[in-house]
Structure 1
Amino acid sequence: MDDAAGADDTAGADDDDIRVREGDPDELVAVMRVLDAGLLEADAGEVRDRLAAGDCLVAEASGRVVGALALDGDYIDAVAASPSRRGRGVGTRLVRAALDRRGRLVADFDGGIRPFYEALGFDIEERGDDDGRFRGVLRDE
């Protein structure tokens, strides 16, 4: 797993009914749907492990999972929002909740997702491997 897709652009209006919490292993299918809708290459076994370890956050609205963020230590494996919730602050809330838990976050991503991470305050640099990818670091200060 890696990258962020369909997380959101922070220009949209926030959803006030969103609640971010630790995901439950029973929510594997719902989390995979969100990640798949974001066109992320997420492995169900890895996501299951993250859920079991408490390393997967979900954004919930009206009892439905509308966003997900999977962590590996302080590394963001994947973050995505449901298509109907993109641009409404779901990804931002997930990243902020993860930062509250970890104090530091690292993410690798392609140029199309760079504005999302820049808006959150990540320090970004090119990875230097000529594949057009970037690495960002965010610290809770």
Structure 2
Amino acid sequence: MDDTARADDDTTRSDDGVRVREGDPGELVAVMRVLDAGLLEADAGDIRDRLAAGDCLVAEASGRVVGALALDGDYVEAVATSPSRRGRGVGTALVRAAVDRSGRLVADFDEGVRPFYESLGFDIEERGGDARAVADTGAGDDRFRGVLRNA
């Protein structure tokens, strides 16, 4: 099967012309740009592995990657949208496509993105930070875990 047929079989289109599909290993640089723009500390080697395994979804608009979501099983390792596309449903489309694939998603996140996960229907619980990490860096105070099941 050629790449065009594969992409068409595994594609979700949004109203504004954004298409969600499985990422291609050749898109590593584009995916890393999106994740970096989202200020995520994603490891390029891990993302390369996710792309090779078919566990990275991309949102594409006008032939350009404008969003990415990396999965490890049902765990969302990273999800980000290009700054120019934020607030326009790209992240939502990525999460919906991921939950359609796996039936369940789990994500850990900071307070600042909690409204995004709440809007998608994630069941959210506070995660106590690692006392050592909090003492060393001040991080971990406002971490949450969300679980979403396909309805």
The separation in 2 between residues aligned to 1:21 and 1:132, in whole angstroms, is 32
Instruction: Report the counterpart of residue 132 of structure 1 in structure 2.
Output: 142
Deviation at 1:127, TM superposition (A): 0.7
| 1:84 corresponding residue in structure 2 | 84
TM-score, normalized by length of structure 2? Answer: 0.83
**Cα distance in 2 for residues equivalent to 1:81 and 1:116:** 12
Partner secondary structure for residue 34 of structure 1: helix
Report deviation, 1:132. 1.3
TM-score, with normalisation over the residues of structure 1? 0.88
Residue 128 of structure 1, CA deviation? 2.0
Separation in 2, partners of 1:76, 1:114: 14
1:108, CA displacement in angstroms? Answer: 0.2
Structure 2 Cα separation of the partners of residues 74 and 127 of structure 1: 18
Larger RCO, structures 1/2 (Cα 8 Å, 6+ apart): 1
Aligned in 2, Cα 1:57/1:94: closer, same or farther, shift over 3 Å?
Answer: same
The higher radius of gyration belongs to: 2
For structure 1, the 5+ residue unaligned runs are 1-13
Asked if the contact 1:15/1:88 (under 8 Å) is kept, the reply is no
**Which residue pairs with 2:44 in the alignment?**
44
Q: More helix by proportion, 1 or 2?
A: 2
Root mean square deviation, CA, Å: 1.0
Contact 1:15/1:89 (<8 A) preserved: no
1:50 alignment partner, SS class: helix
| Distance (whole Å) between structure 1 residues aligned to residue 105 and residue 141 of structure 2 | 22
Question: What is aligned with 1:3?
Answer: none
Q: Which runs of 5+ in 2 are unaligned?
A: 1-13, 130-139
Distance 1:110 1:29 in 2: 25
CA distance in 2, matches of 1:15, 1:68: 18
Percentage identity across paired residues of the two chains: 84
User: CA offsets per residue over residues 31-83 of structure 1, 9 Å max, x none?
Assistant: 00000000000100000000000000000000000000000000000000001
Structure 1 segments (4+ residues) deviating >4 Å = none
* Mapped partners of 2:15, 2:111: distance in 1: 26
**Kept after mapping to 2: 8 A contact 1:15/1:90:** no
